[in-house]
Each structure stands twice: as structure tokens, then as C-alpha cells.
Amino acid sequence: MRTLFVAGYATTSASLMWTLQLLLQHPHILSEVQQEIDITLNGHRPTWTILNKLSLLNALISESLRLYPPAWRITRTALNEDRILDYQVPQNVSILIHVYAIHRHPTFWQHPKIFNPARFMGSDAMPPRNPAWMPFGAGSRLCLGRDLALTTMKIILITLLQRFHLSPKGPISSGVRFVTTLQPATPPSFQLTPRI
């Protein structure tokens, strides 16, 4: 039950918090994504077909997950003795893959600390083709809940942005807490104003 809660809900809610925080820090992107939603959906509820047509929404979710992957680390145990580059890995040793660091490494990302959803638009549209993007793991151990998490995030953001204007209710901290899931040091405080 704990695994289901952490994997299925805590990670998605953490991702939504980070995405809202980034939108509050970048009001021009918030305005652009709200406009994309308004034009594409024209006040209707989202359908499965429409979700993938929202290129900016998809890109900002990908970029949010790049900067703040909820599963910020992945642990694997070597079943046998192995070698990774110049490192000898003994059998039964746990290996930590630091996803947060990989997502911010300049070898893989240009200007890695800057929030730039455009890096996931066009030919790099969702799912991102960069193998260094792994908020859901990679390969045969890819998270089974990836599509559910992405769809849930899209529907919640669409519903929220169709109905409300978002504005910060105080200073927005960019501090990070490395706990089970990556959490903001201070959760974003924002105000929702109904759209007329």
C-alpha cells in the first residue's frame, strides 16, 4: 500500500507542486500555456486526443520533471560482479543513480539550471528523446505509472488553468528537500481567481 501511495500519488502531487511553482516564477509561460489551452479546448473538457496536441503544456511538464524529478534517485543492486566504465562493481552492491544531478548535468543539457520548456518542443516533443531524461526511470524498469502520472498532471493543470488565474501569494522559494520524493523547501503559496 505504501508503494502504491508513494509511486502513484505522492510523486504526481510533488510534480504538480513544482510545475505550479515554475509557472508562478514564469508568468509569461503561464499566460502562454493558458492561451494554448483556451484556443485548443475552447472551453471543453480535454479528451485523450487533445492532450497530446497541447505542445506547450506537454513541454512544460517535461521540463518541470527534468528540473524537479519527484523520484530524484534510483537504487539498483548488482546481481553479479560487473564493470561500469573504469569502476569495478562487486556483486550485491547497491548503486545509486542520481536522477536530479543527471537532469542538471551540462554534458546532457544546455543551460541546465534554466527553466526552458522549448527544449522539449518540436522534434524533442514528449516523450523526450534525450536518454538523460529519466524521471520515470528507463529501459526495462520504466515506471508502469508513467502514462497515468502524465495524464493526471495534464488534466489537473488544464482544469485549473481553464477556470482560474494563478498568482503568487508571497515569495516563491526555490529550495529543495531531498526526502522520499523531491519536495519544495516551502510549498508554493498562490491565489486562485476565477476567470470570467
Domains and CATH numbers, the chain: 2-70+110-194 (1.10.630.10)
CA nearest 148: which of 40, 7, 1? 7
Residues 94-118: tens digit of each pLDDT = 999 999 999 999 999 999 999 999 9
CA nearest 182: which of 118, 125, 100? 100
* In the predicted structure, residue 8 carries a pLDDT above the cut 80: no
In this structure, the strands spanning 164-168 and 176-178 are unpaired
Higher pLDDT, 193 or 127: 193
Q: What pTM value is reported for the model?
A: 0.90
What whole-number distance in Å separates Cα of residue 66 and Cα of residue 94? Answer: 24
CA nearest 44: which of 156, 150, 159? 159
Which residue type sits at 86? Answer: D
* In the predicted structure, residue 31 carries a pLDDT above the cut 50: yes
* In the predicted structure, residue 3 carries a pLDDT above the cut 90: no
